[in-house]
Every structure is written in C-alpha cells, then in structure tokens.
Amino acid sequence: MTTHHIQADPPPGVDCQCPGLGIRSPTRYHGKVAADRARTSAPLETDDSPRRADRPWHVLREFPDFRKLFTGSSISLLGSSITTVALPLTAVSYLHASPAQMGMLGAVSMLPHLILGLPAGVWVDRMSYRRTLILADFARAPLLGSIPVLAMFGWLQMWQLYVVAVLAGIGGLFEMVAAQSFTPAVVPRSHLLPANSSLALVTATVNTAGSGLGGLLVTLVTAPIAIAADALSFVISGVLKTRIRASGRTDAHTERRRRSLLVEIFHGLRAVFTHPIVRAVTVAATIGALAGQMQNVVLVLYLVRTLGFSSALVGVVIAIAGAAGILGAVLATGVTRRLGHGPAFITGMLVASVAGLVLAAASGALVPAIVVVVIAQSMRGLGPPIYGVNQQTLRQAHIPPALLSRANATWRFLVYGTQVLGAALGGFFGAAAGLRATLVVSSGLMLVGTAVAWASPLRSSGELPPQEPEEATEDSAAA
C-alpha cells in the first residue's frame, strides 16, 4: 500500500518537527524564517510568546493539523459519552439483561485492550497514523449504527451488543494508540504540554457533560436510538481527520513490516522499561490505575450504605469530581511550568492518593460528612489531569517516534489490565474488610505508586529533553 509523505512546513518559531514531516534543524531553520512566514499564517514568536504558548487554546490556533485532530476526537468523544449511558440502558431496559449479562457486556469491552493491547502498537506502527485514525472512525460508525437499526425492526439481541462492544473496542484501541503517537508529529515538542492539556480539558468537560446529554437523549428517543448520535459523531470525526495534511508516517514503517511481531513488541516493552523516567511514570501510573479502580467500584456503595447519602446527593458529589477534573486540566500547564514535569506528575499523584484517605475519614452527622466528601472528591478530580497530562507528555518526549506507538500500546495494556484486576480486588476487599478499609488500602497502594515516582529521576526532571534535528532510529533506540 503506497503512502505519500506529506511535507508539513513547521510554523515560525519552532526549531524542528518529526521525521517525515519536513524537519528542519535549528541552524537551518533560522535562515529560512522569512520564507516560512510567507508560506504560513502563524506569527513569529515574540517576547510574550512563551506565556501565550502555555495556554491550551494557543496550540489549536497555531497548528491546523492538531486543530483538526482535536476537533474530530472531541466530537467522537462526545458521541462515545452518550453511548456510555445508552448502551447499558439498551441492555437493561430494552433487552432486559440479567446481572450476569451486564457483567459480560462490561468484560467484553475490555477484551481488546487485554488481548490486542501489545500487538496493536506494532500494527499501528506499520501504518500511517492518519489512515489508522480515519479507518477506526469509519469502521465504528456502522457498527454502532447497526444497534438503532436492529432495534427499530425488533431484531436486536444481547449477543449483538457483545459483538459491537468487542469490535468497537478494537477500533477504540487503535484510535487511542494512533492519536497519542500522532500528536508529537503535528505539534513540536515545546508545545506538547499545552496540546495534551487541551486534550485533557475537553476529555474532562465531555465526560462531565456527556453523561447528562446521554441521559436526556435516552429519555427523548429511547436508549437504542440515542446510540445513533455516536455513529454520526464518528462519521464527522473521520471526515475531519481526512483533512489532516501530515500522514504521521516515518521512513522506518515499510522496513518494520518484515520484522517479527514478537520482536517488535519486545522492542516496545524495552523502550518503556529501560528508560528510567518512562519506567517510573509507567510503574507509578499502573499502580495508580489498579488502586483507583479499587476505589471506583466501592465509591457509590460507600456513599450510600456507609454515609447514608441519597441518590441525588451521590450524583452531586460525583459531579463535583468531574468539575474538579476540568479545573485540573486548566491548571495542568501552569502547575507544570512552575514545578517541572516530573514534580508536577508526583504532585498530581499525591493529591489523588491522599483523596482516598480523606474520603475514608468522612463519618458522623450528614453535614460534616458532606464537607469531607466534597473535599475528597475535589482532590480526586483535581489530581488525575495534572499527572495524566505529564505522563503522556513525558512519554511522547522521551520515546523516539519509531517506538512511540508500541510504547503507548504497552502503557494502555498495563493500565487497562490492572483496572480489571483492581475492580476484582475492590469487590473482594469491600466484601471481606469493609468499604472504608478498602478506601484506606487503595489509597495506600496509590501512595506506593507516588513513592516509586518520588524515588526515581522524575523528582528532578523539570524540563523536556531538547528535540533533536534527526530523531533516533528504531535500531539505535532499541539497542
């Protein structure tokens, strides 16, 4: 399959971009500023440009390819947030699913990450990132669109939801690996932090508002028909991504097709676990994901059965965490510029870790308990965007482009795999030791992850490494 390399001119003020996308070294670049400015609409950097560049929306204005990627991903994310509500309601209210069937539906949606998580990075690496994103969107549109069509004719059955959940999960896996690997190809390293902050901000916002929109659509048009909105969102997203100029394809793609799948998976694992900073981020995030899922599965039970909160009050305190997540995404860039990438990652993890202990301390009368829970939920929402933005930025900056998709796939495999284990452990500890004790144990595990990060070079990792004119090849990076 022939793929054309799109030569995207770097905007003024940027030293260089990734291989295959019109790289210029710093020395060659400054002699061509005038010519670049004549070909682009981006202004030259001024004395206040570092402050402007820290703003998440600045990167959307300056880099058109990232703007199209961001817009398409945001639209599809909004559609997916509707399906998060509508799909289980379709199973429950339309197909009258049993608890066992609902558990199966949740489990099969995780299977792609567990079974295909590692090889997905290799397969994504052998294609153009742009093509992978487009195919993933256009493939999921008819899959999800089949649900309302089958429901309208009375043909929808539970096994069909399982099939859609698995296949759509495969598309989501490939889309996420490609998107996280594509960002450094359309945004220079100096702007990765605000770019990832803008993605975290829209994710937090859509996740907070999308559930309400999903519930409204289910009320208006029924659960199966509401999923049509998600199918439409993938069509729009795919069309927008076809307008991206950069292909996200390096010169090594064709050569790597001849290599063993297991060898390439091993290179990705080695890239993650032999780099001291990336290893620390990955181990800490994996422990945090396991412990966080332990908390998630007992949170509602704790609020209702231990603290006696009403359903309406539970909805409010959960929404508080969502609002705090939006605030955390807004603050992530500023906090990182002040503390440095490594310390900001550690700080975000510490805030999220302590939140569980604060939550476990809630007791007594209703009003004091509400105050404590509000504080805890604010911390649970504020911490993850701060460490999440930095873990992604650090991985993108320290892993060579030739290995990045495999490193991203490795990370997702570990994080999603431990979430499945965390859910099981949360249920086990909740039944055996009690809900409050589970919150304490899970917070202790998160603090262990924070300690791993603190004891690593992350503690003194303030700045990203400079972007080289020629990125390392796969062989040199994996050696």
Predicted pLDDT of residue 287: 94
What is the average per-residue pLDDT within 45-66? 65
271 versus 1: the higher-pLDDT residue is 271
Question: Residue 177 is encoded by which pair of tokens?
Answer: 């690996």
User: What's domain 64-188+204-249's superfamily in CATH?
Assistant: MFS general substrate transporter like domains (1.20.1250.20)
Confidence band, pLDDT 50/70/90 cuts, at residue 291: very high
* pLDDT of 268 over the 50 cut: yes
C-alpha distances in angstroms, 407 versus 6, 177, 392, 394, 421? 24, 9, 11, 12, 21
16-25, 161-170, 260-269, 356-365: least confident range: 16-25
> What distance in Å separates the CA atoms of residue 341 and residue 377, rounded to the nearest whole number?
24
Look-up of token digits 């998107």: 179
Q: What is the mean pLDDT of residues 388-417?
A: 87
Taking alpha carbons only, the member of 72, 332, 378 closest to residue 198 is 332
Average pLDDT over residues 417-428: 84
**What pLDDT is stored for residue 219 in this prediction?**
85
Question: What is the pLDDT confidence band of residue 140, given thresholds at 50, 70 and 90?
Answer: very high
Q: Return the percentage of the chain with pLDDT > 70, whole number.
A: 83
Whether the Cβ atoms of residue 233 and residue 80 lie closer than 8 Å to each other? yes
**Rounded mean pLDDT of 116-143?**
90
Residue found under tokens 């805890």: 376
Q: Which residue's entry shows tokens 């896996």?
A: 173
**pLDDT at position 48:** 42
Would you say the CATH fold of 265-478 matches that of 64-188+204-249?
yes
Report whether 135 contacts 427 (CB < 8 A).
no
The gap from C-alpha 223 to its chain's centroid, in whole angstroms, comes to 26
Does 446 score more than 90 pLDDT? yes
* Segment among 14-28, 296-310, 393-407, 443-457 with least mean pLDDT: 14-28
- What pLDDT, on the 0 to 100 scale, is given for residue 53? 53
Overall average pLDDT of the 413-428 stretch: 84
**More confidently predicted of 373 and 197:** 373
Q: For residue 15, give the nearest of 188, 233, 265 by alpha carbon.
A: 188
Helices 276-301, 435-454: axis angle to 10 degrees equals 170
Reported confidence tier of residue 21, pLDDT bands at 50, 70, 90:
very low
Pair of tokens at residue 32: 């061509």
Tokens encoding 176: 């996420």
Q: Using CA atoms, how far apart are residues 351 and 477, in angstroms rounded to an integer? A: 34
pLDDT at 61: 84
Assigned token pair, 453: 């990060």
pLDDT (average), residues 48-60: 61
> Confidence class of residue 228 from pLDDT cuts 50, 70 and 90?
very high
pLDDT bucket at 55, cuts 50 / 70 / 90:
low
- Which range (140-144, 426-430, 439-443) has the least confidence? 426-430
Band of the pLDDT at 358, cuts 50, 70, 90? very high
pLDDT at 33: 32
Q: Is 355 exposed, middle or buried (0-12, 13-18, 19+ CB in 10 A)?
A: buried
Determine the straight-line distance between the first and last CA of the chain, rounded to whole angstroms: 29
Calpha distance 171→174 (Å, rounded): 5
Residue appearing with tokens 């990652």: 345
Confidence tier at 37 by pLDDT (50, 70, 90):
very low
Is the pLDDT score of 92 beyond 80? yes
* Residue pair 92/158 in contact by the 8 Å Cβ criterion: no
Predicted TM-score of the model (pTM): 0.75
CA distance 247 to 1: 14
In this predicted structure, the answer to whether residue 74 has a pLDDT above a threshold of 80 is yes
More confident residue, 121 or 52: 121
Phi and psi for 24 in degrees, rounded to 5? -130, 135
- Residue 345 CB contacts under 8 Å (≥ 6 apart), including other chains: 281, 284, 386, 387, 390, 391, 394, 453, 458
More confident residue, 470 or 213: 213
Closest Cα to residue 309, out of 378, 362, 353? 362
Segment holding 38, helix H or strand E: helix 33-39
In terms of phi and psi (left: phi > 0; alpha: psi -120 to 50; beta: otherwise), the region of 159 is alpha
Q: Which of 124, 63, 18 is nearest to 413 (CA)?
A: 124
Instruction: With a cut of 60, say whether residue 230 has pLDDT above it.
Output: yes
State both tokens at 134.
């487009």
DSSP 117-129: HHHHHHHHHTS-H
Confidence of residue 233 (pLDDT cuts 50, 70, 90): very high
Residue 56, pLDDT score: 61
> Are 265 and 122 spatial neighbours (Cβ–Cβ below 8 Å)?
yes
- Does 435 score more than 50 pLDDT? yes
Q: Give the domain ranges of the chain.
A: 64-188+204-249, 265-478
C-alpha span between 11 and 43 (Å, rounded) = 8
Average pLDDT over residues 271-292: 92
> What angle (nearest 5°) sits at the alpha carbon of residue 359, between those of residues 354 and 362?
135
Average pLDDT over residues 21-50: 35
Q: Please tell me which residue, 306 or 258, carries the higher pLDDT value.
A: 306
Residue 194 reports pLDDT greater than 90: no
Query: Rounded to 5 degrees, what are φ and ψ at 2?
Result: -85, 135
Please report where in the chains the tokens 């450094």 appear, as a residue: 184
Q: Which of 72, 58, 216 is nearest to 141 (CA)?
A: 72
pLDDT of residue 43: 31
Rounded CA-CA distance 22/7 in Å is 5
Q: Is the pLDDT of residue 102 over 70?
A: yes
CATH number of 265-478: 1.20.1250.20
Mean pLDDT of the chain: 80
pLDDT at 301 over 60: yes
Residue 475 reports pLDDT greater than 80: no
CA distance 233 to 367: 42
Number of Cβ atoms within 10 Å of the Cβ of 2: 4
Average pLDDT over residues 7-11: 33
pLDDT value for 19: 31
